[in-house]
Amino acid sequence: MRKVWILIFILVIFCGEIFSQTYDRILQTGFVYQVWSIENINNPISETTFPIEVIYPIQENLTLQFNHSPAASRFGSNNLSGLSDTWIRSTYAFSNNQALVSVGLGLPTGKAELNTSEMNVSALLSQNAFKFRVPVFGQGLTVSAGVMYAYPINEKVTLGAGINYVFRGKYKYSKFLPDKYDPGDQIGANLGFDYLIIPRLRSNVDLIFSYYTADKLNNTKMFLSGLKLSTKFGVQYQVSAGYLWMRAYYRKKAKNETWDGQALVPDDKNYNITQRELEVGAKFVLTEILSIIASGEIRSYIENDIKQGWVDLLGGGVGYELQVSERFAIAMGIKLFLGDGEFMNMIPNFSGFELHLGTQWKF
């Protein structure tokens, strides 16, 4: 199973040679290094990721996409490394590009059945505020399907809506787990609104509602995640030599339900945290081959009902894009973060560093 992603990559190349003769195919590779230090904890938690993405326009309105991200993570003497799960997605646009159908297949090629050391690393990777590129290496078979439709009301206003379903198969996340864990499926609905405020200034709003079915162990419902609301607001302003942008996110979950030995019952308190994020940035095209990017970010998470999980982080970074040739480009960027928050009943300071290096080749 570990070599499945290689076979898929070859298959994607083969299909592209057959079907895609007139559209640019894109290969994107990269290197991402992330490290976070926590006050009063001797060792940092770090992860190095090598994302691979292949995009094949089979026809003008039909695209095939392949994603895989091998990674290596470390926390002191604890290590977790290997392949990730492999994603194959296909999108089909129709009705004058106003409608879009998407189908995805997540193959369980990633590392699962973790030992104690690997589970220690995995617990730190799952900290939402740190946003590690690969927080989970391997899960069960995943299948997703969705449809979206956008309706232009006039030259300034466009409305959109969509639904999607994600099936998640059984898998073992621990070597010590005798039975396979069956994570709940996900049903989502989203509404979107795009508005051209003035020439060169555009805004958009997205609302996403996510409903989950119960997680099962040995065919017994053990956990039911609460209904989730995600919102996004963004603006982008076009300038003569580039553009400025801002995005704000807000995510909130209702109470979960947990197995009490006989049935699922609502938790007495809400153990989910509320996430608030703000991102700002600017891209300036200096020459035909060189662009500079600057960004800033705030992550402010609200504590749950038992005063756990709050985080306040402030970060920013710079980067560049270099168009080496008509078909080959390089991008590089760094980010720094500082802040504090609740962690294991402590309130330590956090510091983070990210290095991104990517290449894009059109062939």
- Cα–Cα distance for residue pair 67/59, rounded to 1 Å: 20
114-127 mean pLDDT = 94
Higher pLDDT, 19 or 162: 162
- Confidence band of 266 (pLDDT split at 50, 70, 90): very high
Side chain identity at residue 223, one-letter code? F
Task: Enumerate residues 6+ apart whose C-beta is below 8 A from 140.
Answer: 108, 168, 169, 170, 171, 180, 182, 183
The per-residue pLDDT for 170 is 95
The per-residue pLDDT for 160 is 97
- Residues above pLDDT 70, as percent of the chain: 94
The per-residue pLDDT for 177 is 84
333-342 mean pLDDT = 98
Average pLDDT over the chain, rounded to an integer = 93
Cβ distance 47 to 132 under 8 Å? yes
Side chain identity at residue 336, one-letter code? L
The per-residue pLDDT for 139 is 93
Q: What is the pLDDT of residues 141-188, one digit of tens each?
A: 999 999 999 999 999 999 999 999 999 999 998 988 888 999 999 999
Q: What is the pLDDT of residues 134-149, one digit of tens each?
A: 999 999 999 999 999 9
Residue 4, pLDDT > 50, answer: no
Residue 3, pLDDT > 50, answer: no
Q: What is the pLDDT of residues 226-260, one digit of tens each?
A: 999 999 999 999 999 999 999 999 999 999 999 99
Enter the pTM of the model. 0.90
30-49 mean pLDDT = 96
Alpha-carbon distance values, 32 to 51, 74, 118, 355 (Å):
8, 14, 20, 6
- Confidence band of 275 (pLDDT split at 50, 70, 90): very high
Cβ distance 303 to 284 under 8 Å? no
DSSP run (H or E) holding 223: strand 220-224
Cβ distance 253 to 266 under 8 Å? no
10-24, 151-165, 223-237, 286-300: lowest mean pLDDT where? 10-24
The per-residue pLDDT for 12 is 42
Residue 20, pLDDT > 80, answer: no
- Confidence band of 17 (pLDDT split at 50, 70, 90): very low
- Cα–Cα distance for residue pair 141/138, rounded to 1 Å: 9
Cβ distance 213 to 188 under 8 Å? no
The per-residue pLDDT for 22 is 53
**Look-up: residue for tokens 């989502």?**
188
